[in-house]
């Protein structure tokens, strides 16, 4: 039996910072990957960045940077955000990776040798933000039919892929595999697109340089979409020496993509694979867009804070993951507002789930010292609850297997609500008053813990941290918190010990929170910056004494792996500074250089060395630090 599961996200353009829209596809793919792993599949979850093309070249030029220098920090930010959001990808591909570039060149050569690519002249319209070609008819009024921005007339010598000859084969593919494109509405769009007539596709460019050169014609770079689509196979080693992962995982079980790029994945990508005689992916799922609304007519908010870093910090990662997957059915568009997010947190998470957990655990602590020793006094009214809990797994699975994440969560919440109702119906506080009801009370509380155990297992793909926290509070061991045990009742062994911990989802005061968010929004407008920067007064800045010094001597500090001991001179005095840059520089690279120091820092002792100041350096990426050298500036100069 094939027990692998290969899932991909689109690879993102690092032409701007990672945002909540990107997080949407990535969180969804992560949920699916965790779900399949939980079921015992050998999962390959791929994501990455799509780094070539005209748009990136232009953006880099505007910043006065080489394209790679422009994208590196942005790619690091994508990775940082994925880490924050708990994205459990197995591989991250960058299309500037060497192995990918070589494999793309090989694919282009192969297609050419097979007669699938020919040389010609392109004349038509190009949308740079979408990196997409359009005919006169498609680009009516000089506007891109996808994004509405202006298109440019392009005329250049190009190679063409014989896409038009695949029309019939593609239509047959959709007919024979009704699930190949989902949801259904996207499939109908693709059928219409093909029936309107496919042109051959321009697959090389000569008017700019930032791309993978065509091996046999170096004036041409490979069209960015051909380069990008092949990532799904090159990342697994196709076209490289070690292609074992390709053999193991390809074809992909599903490509998750936004609705506007279904066309590339459902038309161009299978046609390329057909031309290469390679197996086709099993499914393309085109999800909808997260729209960023104005907060609604009655809203008190002055816009929306949509920076995922800020949202995770304020509300917790799991709440954001939950919201993204619950609020909008995966194939449809939906609006994000801070108010809808806060409401979901307050109602679903704090009131329903959080309360169920804290009430249940608190009552066991209060009435039984945290430990349930009996569960034998069942009543008929338990059957409904128990049956619902036992059948939840199969209902949930039906939805998850069809990527109906929101519906799967709905099912879980039916059990959450039922459990809360069960508390109200059984009134444990009343049972606690009568000694002879203690046995019934114990059974009622046991049943609640079993429901919570099952809920926590099925919630794991969506809210991994909270799921573990629930299990911890329940004192439920790992072996009864596996997928298999989510359809079984009575797994908690008598004598299990619960432990009340801090509230999983504290309730948010809506008015106060909107006020806080409005302050952030106002600040943001002033700064015109995606990240919130705390403003300081000029007086604060003037307190910092920045000076140019020359490094006269430098040596490693024996007791430390990171620190270098520097002797610097500002033209008048010499001082010692300990700086954590030894992983990035050797003493020889520093001696004689001019650098900037903060000269009025209070002295501190670091690994036995008294340090008088700090050297300015830039955190270029997670593992790259660059000292700011100012060799042309005279020693002693003050920086203001
Ligand atoms: N680089 C191409 C994809 C190549 S895949 C071989 C690309 N990149 S993108 O960065 O522009 O978009 C990547 C994905 O992010 C797309 O699927 C797009 O739909 C998704 N999203 C970007 N903004 C979004 C929302 N606001 N909401 C949901 N998804 C959105 O296209």
SS3 sequence of 591-637: CCCEEEEECCCCCEEECCEEECCEECEEEEECCEEEECECCCCCCCC
127 lines ligand 1 (CB under 6 A): no
Please work out whether the CB of residue 75 comes within 6 Å of at least one atom of ligand 1. Answer: no
DSSP label of 629 = B
Pocket test for ligand 1, best of 18, 21, 264 (most atoms within 8 A of CB): 21
pLDDT at residue 39 above 80?
yes
Q: What is the pLDDT of residue 559?
A: 83
Ligand 1 pocket mutation pick from 7, 8, 9, 10 by most atoms within 8 angstroms of CB: 10
Residue 129: predicted pLDDT: 87
C-alpha of residue 121 to centroid of ligand 1, in Å: 30
If residue 39 lies in a helix (H) or strand (E), which one and from where to where?
Answer: none
User: Number of helices (H) and strands (E), helices first, in the chain?
Assistant: 23, 25
Q: What is the pLDDT of residue 606?
A: 85
305 lines ligand 1 (CB under 6 A): no
Q: Give the integer Cα–Cα distance in Å for 467 and 452.
A: 10
Whether 13 lines ligand 1, by a CB cut-off of 6 Å, is yes
3-class secondary-structure state, position 500: coil
Q: Quote the CA–CA distance of 278 and 262 in Å, as a whole number.
A: 20
Does the pLDDT at position 528 exceed 60?
A: no
483-524 pLDDT, tens digit each: 999 999 999 999 999 999 999 999 999 999 988 988 888 876
Buried b (16+ CB within 10 A) or exposed e, 283-306: bbbbbbbbeebebeeeeebebbbb
Residue 363 φ then ψ, to 5°: -70, -35
Instruction: Convert the pLDDT of each residue in 104-163 to its tens digit.
Output: 999 999 999 999 999 999 888 999 889 898 988 888 888 998 888 889 888 889 999 999
The residue nearest atom 8 of ligand 1, judged by CA position, is: 12
Check pocket membership of 289 for ligand 1, CB cut-off 6 A: yes
184-201 tens-digit pLDDT:
999 999 999 999 999 999
Regarding the beta carbon of 257 and ligand 1, being less than 6 Å apart is answered yes
Q: What are phi and psi of 159, to 5 degrees?
A: -95, 145
Position 137 scores a pLDDT of 83
Percent over 90 (pLDDT), the chain: 81
CA 27 to ligand 1 center in whole angstroms:
13
| Residues contacting 628, CB < 8 A, separation 6+ | 595, 596, 616, 617, 618
Query: What digits encode the pLDDT tens for the residues 545-558?
Result: 999 999 999 999 98
Distance 110 CA to ligand 1 centre (A): 29
Looking at 77-86, 181-190, 265-274, 598-607, which range is the least confident one? 598-607
Q: How far is the CA of 26 from the centre of ligand 1 (A)?
A: 10
Residues 6+ apart with CB under 8 A from 423: 356, 359, 360, 444, 448
Radius of gyration of the chain (CA): 30
Verify whether ligand 1 is closer than 6 Å to residue 11 (CB atom). Answer: yes
Spatial contact of 94 and 48, defined as CB atoms under 8 Å apart: yes
**For residue 530, pLDDT beyond 60:** no
Residue from 22, 286, 289 whose mutation best tests the ligand 1 pocket (most atoms within 8 A of CB): 22
Provide mean pLDDT across the span 606-630: 86
pLDDT in tens, 374-406: 998 888 889 999 999 999 999 999 999 999 999
pLDDT surpassing 50 at residue 173:
yes
Ligand 1 centroid – CA 629 distance (Å):
38
> Rounded CA gap, 622 and 511, in Å?
38
21 lines ligand 1 (CB under 6 A): yes
- Which residue's alpha carbon is nearest to atom 5 within ligand 1? 10
């Amino acid at each position: 039996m094939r027990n692998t599961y290969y899932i991909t996200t689109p690879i993102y353009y690092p032409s701007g910072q990672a945002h909540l829209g990107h997080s949407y596809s990535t969180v969804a793919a992560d949920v699916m990957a965790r779900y399949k792993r939980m079921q015992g599949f050998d999962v390959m979850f791929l994501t990455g960045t799509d780094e070539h093309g005209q748009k990136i070249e232009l953006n880099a030029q505007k910043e006065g940077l080489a394209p790679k220098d422009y994208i590196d920090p942005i790619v690091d930010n994508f990775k940082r955000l994925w880490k924050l959001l708990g994205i459990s990808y197995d591989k991250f591909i960058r299309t500037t990776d060497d192995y990918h570039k070589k494999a793309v060149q090989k694919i282009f050569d192969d297609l050419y040798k097979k007669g699938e690519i020919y040389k010609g002249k392109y004349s038509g319209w190009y949308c740079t933000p979408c990196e997409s070609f359009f005919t006169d008819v498609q680009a009516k009024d000089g506007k891109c039919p996808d994004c509405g921005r202006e298109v440019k007339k392009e005329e250049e010598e190009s190679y063409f892929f014989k896409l038009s000859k695949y029309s019939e084969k593609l239509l047959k593919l959709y007919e024979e595999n009704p699930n190949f494109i989902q949801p259904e509405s996207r499939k109908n769009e693709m059928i219409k697109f093909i029936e309107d007539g496919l042109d051959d596709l321009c697959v090389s460019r000569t008017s700019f340089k930032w791309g993978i050169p065509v091996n046999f014609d170096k004036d041409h770079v490979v069209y960015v979409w051909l380069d990008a689509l092949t990532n799904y196979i090159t990342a697994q080693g196709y076209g490289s020496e070690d292609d074992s992962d390709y053999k193991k995982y390809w074809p992909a079980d599903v490509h998750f993509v936004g609705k506007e790029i279904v066309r590339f994945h459902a038309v161009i990508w299978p046609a390329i694979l057909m031309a290469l005689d390679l197996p086709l992916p099993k499914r393309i799922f085109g999800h909808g867009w997260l729209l960023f609304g104005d907060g609604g007519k009655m809203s008190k908010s002055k816009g929306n804070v949509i920076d995922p870093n800020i949202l995770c910090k304020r509300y917790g990662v799991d709440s954001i993951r939950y919201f993204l997957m619950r609020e909008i059915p995966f194939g449809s568009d939906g609006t994000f507002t801070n108010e809808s997010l806060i409401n979901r947190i307050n109602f679903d998470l704090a009131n329903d789930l959080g309360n169920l957990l804290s009430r249940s655990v608190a009552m066991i602590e209060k009435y039984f010292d945290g430990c349930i020793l009996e569960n034998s006094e069942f009543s008929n009214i338990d059957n409904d609850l128990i049956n619902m809990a036992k059948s939840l797994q199969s209902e949930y699975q039906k939805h998850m297997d069809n990527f109906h994440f929101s519906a799967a969560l709905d099912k879980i919440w039916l059990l959450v609500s039922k459990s809360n109702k069960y508390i109200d119906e059984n009134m444990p506080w009343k049972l606690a008053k009568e000694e002879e009801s203690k046995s019934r009370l114990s059974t009622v509380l046991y049943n609640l813990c079993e429901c919570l155990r099952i809920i926590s297992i099925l919630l794991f793909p969506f809210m991994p941290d909270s799921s573990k926290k629930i299990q911890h509070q329940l004192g439920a061991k790992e072996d009864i918190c596996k997928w298999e045990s989510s359809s079984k009742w009575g797994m908690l062994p008598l004598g299990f010990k619960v432990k009340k911990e801090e509230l999983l989802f504290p309730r948010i005061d809506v008015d106060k929170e909107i006020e806080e968010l409005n302050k952030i929004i106002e600040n943001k407008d002033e700064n015109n910056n995606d990240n919130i920067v705390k403003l300081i007064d000029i007086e604060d800045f003037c307190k910092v004494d920045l000076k140019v010094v020359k490094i006269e001597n430098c040596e490693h500090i024996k007791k430390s792996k990171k620190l270098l001991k520097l002797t610097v001179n500002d033209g008048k005095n010499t001082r010692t500074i300990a700086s954590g840059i030894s992983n990035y520089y050797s003493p020889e690279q520093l001696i004689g250089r001019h650098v900037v120091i903060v000269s009025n820092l209070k002295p501190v002792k670091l690994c036995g060395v008294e340090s008088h100041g700090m050297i300015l350096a830039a955190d270029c990426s997670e593992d790259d630090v660059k000292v700011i050298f100012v060799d042309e500036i005279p020693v002693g100069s003050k920086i203001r």
